Structure 1
Amino acid sequence: MVLKLHGFPLSTCTRRVALVLKEKNVPYKLVPVDLTKNENKSPSYLANQPFGQVPYIVDDDGFQLFESRAIGRYIALKYPDQGNKLMPDPADLKKTALFEQAASIELSNFDPLASTLAFERLVKPRRGLGETNEALVAQITQQLGAKLDVYEVILSKTKYLAGEEVSLADLFHIPYGSMLGMMRIDLGSETRPNVARWWKDITSRPSWVSVKDGA
C-alpha cells in the first residue's frame, strides 16, 4: 500500500503536506477532493475529517490523520533518517524547543495575516463572496510588514528560523507565502535582505517546485 493524501490539489494545506512528503521522499497517492463541488462537506468525507477541511491522510497501515501541520510532524518523525531532516531529534531538548518556537511563530504571527490577505484579495473575487475589503487589506499588510521586520532580526542571526538547518517551521510558510507573491506583496525587500535570502532559499527547493502548481 501507499500513503493516500485526500485533498484539493491547489489548496494551501494540501500542498503543505505534499511538500513535506516530497522532502522526506515518501511516495503518496493524491485522492482529489473537489472543493468547488463541496465534496469536503459530504457525509462520507466528514466521517474522516469532521471539520470538512482538506487534507487528511490514510497511511499505508490504515492510520488516519488530519491537520496539515500535524501531518507534517508525523511524517518527519516517522521517517527521521529518510530524505531531509526537518525536525530535531526529540532527545535534544534545546533544539526541539527552538524548533517549536519557530513553528509557533509561523502559526501565530504569519499564517493569520497571510491567510486573511489571501482570502480578501484572491478567494473572495474567485468565489463571488463580495468585494475585497481594501481597508482591511491595508491594515493587515502593514501588520505583516511589522512581523517581517522581526523575521529580519531573527534571520540576521541564523540561516533559518530554528537555527542553521531548514525545518518544517520554514517550509510551513511557503503555500500562503507564495500567494502573497501573487498579490505583489513582497516578503523580502532591500530593507529585509535576510528575509529575502531566506525566502529565495526555501522556495527554490525541488520539493516546492514539484508541488507549487498542484500536489
Structure 2
Amino acid sequence: MVLKVYVAPLPSGGSPIVLLVLAEKQIPFECIFVELTKKETKTSDFLKMNPFGQVPVIDDDGFILYETRAICRYLTEKYAAQGPALIPTSLNGKAVLEQAASVELATFMPALIKVGREALKGTHGLAVDQAVLDAALVEFGQKLDVYEVILGKHKFIAGDELTIVDFFHLIYAPGLATRVGIDIMTQASRPNVTRWWNVLIARPAWVKLQAERAAANAVQNV
C-alpha cells in the first residue's frame, strides 16, 4: 500500500517540510490535499487520524502519524538507505541532532512566531504595530546571533552534514522574505547564517517544491 500524505495546499507550515523529506529520500507517496478553509481537518474522519485537527498526517499502510517533526524522523529512519542520510548514525551525532532539534523548537521557533504574528497582520488587512514588530525582530536577531556562532563551527546546524533539523527551520522562516519582505535570515552581519540559509533554500528539491506549490496556489486563486 502506497504511503498516503495529508497536507495543506498552501506552501507554508509543516506540510512542505514533510514533502521535502519525501523528495530528498525519493519515497513514493500519494498526496492528499486537505482544505483548511473548508474545515476538512475538523471532520470526524480526519479527527480520527489527528485529534488536534491539523496537517500534515501520514498513513503508512494503516500506521497513522501526525506532527511534522515526528513524521520526518519516521520517514528518514525507515528509508535510511535512500537519498541523503539526514540523521547521524553515531550516538554523539544523534545527541547533537536532538540538541539542535530542541533549540529549533524551543528557541528559534518561538522567536520566529513573534515576528511572523505581527508582520503578517498586514497581509490580512490589519494594522501592524511597528514597535511590537521591532522588538520581536530584536529578540529573533539575538537568537540568530547565537546561530552565527554555532554555524561558524560547522556547515549545518547539527554538524557538517545536512540533517532533518536544518529542514525544520524552513517551516515558517522563508515566508518572512516572500510574504512580507523581511529578509532577516540573510544579513551581512551574520555571514555564517546567510551561507547556511542560502544552501537550504537552494536545495533543488526545495526549489522545485516551492515552484510547484506556488503554481498550484495561483491556479486555485484564479
TM superposition score normalised by structure 1: 0.91
**Matched residues, number:** 210
Q: How far apart are residue 116 of structure 1 and its match?
A: 3.1
- Paired residue secondary structure (1:187): helix
- Paired residue secondary structure (2:172): helix
CA displacement 1:129-174 (0-9 Å, x = unmatched): x543433222211111001011010111101111110101111111
Q: Where does residue 36 of structure 1 map in the other structure?
A: 37
Contact 1:9 1:15 in 2 (8 A): no
Q: How far apart are residue 127 of structure 1 and its match?
A: 5.1
Task: Give ranges in structure 1 of 5+ residues lacking alignment.
Answer: none
Give the counterpart letter for 2:67 in structure 1.
Answer: E
- Paired residue secondary structure (1:208): helix
Q: How far apart are residue 121 of structure 1 and its match?
A: 2.4
Q: Where does residue 85 of structure 1 map in the other structure?
A: 85
CA distance in 1, matches of 2:131, 2:36: 29
Residue 119 of structure 1 is aligned with which of 114, 117, 140? 117
Alignment of 1:134-173 (within 5 A): 134-173=130-169
Q: Where does residue 12 of structure 1 map in the other structure?
A: 13
CA distance in 2, matches of 1:42, 1:63: 19
Task: Give ranges in structure 2 of 5+ residues lacking alignment.
Answer: 215-222
TM superposition score normalised by structure 2: 0.88
Q: Where does residue 192 of structure 1 map in the other structure?
A: 190
Q: How far apart are residue 49 of structure 1 and its match?
A: 0.8
- Paired residue secondary structure (2:37): helix
RMSD: 1.7
CA distance in 2, matches of 1:43, 1:135: 42
- Paired residue secondary structure (2:62): coil
